[in-house]
Amino acid sequence: MSLWLRSCQRCGLNNNTVVRMRFYCPRRTRSKLQLTTGGTRRCSTVQVQVQGEVRVRFAPSPTGFLHLGGLRTALYNYIFAKKYGGSFILRLEDTDQSRLVPGAADSIEDMLEWAGIPPDESPRRGGPVGPYLQSQRLDLYSETALQLVKSGHAYYCFCSPQRLELLKKEALRTGQTPRYDNRCRHLRADQVHEKLANEVPHVIRFRLEVGVEPFQDLIFGWNRHEVAEVEGDPVVIKADGFPTYHLANIVDDHYMKISHVLRGSEWLISTSKHLLMYRALGWQPPTFGHLPLLMNKDGTKLSKRQGDIFIQSFQRDGVLPAALLDITTNCGSGFNTNRMGRRIDELISEFNPSKITTHSALLDLDKLPEFNRNHLQQQIEDEEQCLLLIKDLQGQIKQTYAAEIQDKDVLHEEYIRRVLFFRKGHISSLKELLSPNYSYLWVRPSFSSQQVAALTAEARHIASLVLRLVEEQGGELAVDQLNKDLKTLAKQAKATKYTEVMKLLRLALSGLQKGPSVAELMVSLGPAEIIHRLQKLLKLPETS
């Protein structure tokens, strides 16, 4: 298997560095990438071989609930895995114990399953390389950190929080970026032993070294960030014994045999740091691909403070999982073409990693109802999916109108199926069918004799004509034929115009003054329910 991708978008190399590498171009000619002083870039297309088992992971922190940005990262990982016959792993990075949100861990997996992108391995499902909660893997991180200390790639740091805060304040005062000054990397061995013996609080820091090698990102091309020149040595084990992200993620990726890391572009600058750790441990790093950010349509960053970006809120509002996946991929890149209405199997088959661009994806949630309408129509037209919708709607109807339903026939499968087919393309979600505008479908409407009298004095006569028409149809009602028959029927009224006849029938059948055509109302309700509702007109006294 192979992926085609662009190769030289932003490298991050020093201006005095020249790197020459050879690749195979899809035109079967050898081409060079040369980065020189002044930023000369010659772009080429690189064929990246995907060899062996593909294993990708989605590794959120349960310090909050799953939101759209996280869902999109999980989705691209899922699609990538399924495209290349691999595995999609959910790993929960719960090492920041002070910020954990109760219920968030379970909710994240619930939402992935709801969205139709369930993990192959996870805390809930288990798997061969678990546990999949970082808080249950602490011994592994400690062993790795000690290995780095013994090899000289890490060291104990005894600086107090007060000293670190003073360093930060001084840097800010002088207009510099706060960074650790690496003081403890220069301690003698005897000083370290003495402090450890006296149980002085400490962390373990990784020793950043100059000489970062460039790496090829699947999306951003060749990159290199000389982190030792701009950062202090990072903490890898905190004072409480828990690892930081920088250590835990590479340890887990290594032992979980992750082949490709697809994560947000905000981690791009940290990758060189992580590669230094891989090199220090003698491990082969995975292939990296950094996904561009998902942003609001005006270019502002999605914020967790926007309550409507959490997946649970979309689920609560009746958004279909397929529509949510469709809109988050449609606004971005990674596909040969963009079109509305793609299901997950189509997203997988049409996925092309080389088409993922570096610019941010602008999400227009105002278009979500249109996407939902499209996918709802698809599901109504699919027999298996339609049955699921019917069962879902049955439950919602009982919950919303339990005490008001006069006839349980409105809960029957065939009745609800008929309603769905006549409303497909008109509604954006099942929840719309539970709104007051559609309550007539489940509850017989009420109307007054004054409302009827305002329309016509021939209500009983018109009702009799319609009832006879329904009986003559023999239970087989069709919209086109009913439209013709109702026009003919209206001519039999002595002093009531066609428009008033339609208003009367609409009032009796739905209690509303506007909505679907009367013919559509009749077909949706069916002969038995039409008869029930029009009989009320027969009981009204005729007026002159």
Distance CA 96, CA 86 (A): 30
Handedness of CA 281, 283, 286, 288 (dihedral sign): positive
Q: Which residues contact 385 (CB under 8 A, 6 or more apart)?
A: 378, 379
Distance CA 327, CA 341 (A): 9
Distance CA 112, CA 264 (A): 18
The residue type of 13 is L
| Contact predicate 132/92, CB 8 Å | yes
Q: Which residues contact 278 (CB under 8 A, 6 or more apart)?
A: 250, 254, 284, 285
The residue type of 62 is P
Looking at 298-367, list the stretches that DSSP marks H as alpha helix, in order from N- to C-terminal side. Answer: 311-316, 321-330, 344-350
Distance CA 524, CA 423 (A): 9
Q: Which residues contact 107 (CB under 8 A, 6 or more apart)?
A: 65, 66, 312
238 is catalytic: no
Q: Which of 297, 304, 391, 484 is catalytic?
A: 304
| Contact predicate 125/94, CB 8 Å | no
Q: Which residues contact 150 (CB under 8 A, 6 or more apart)?
A: none
Q: Which residues are catalytic?
A: 304
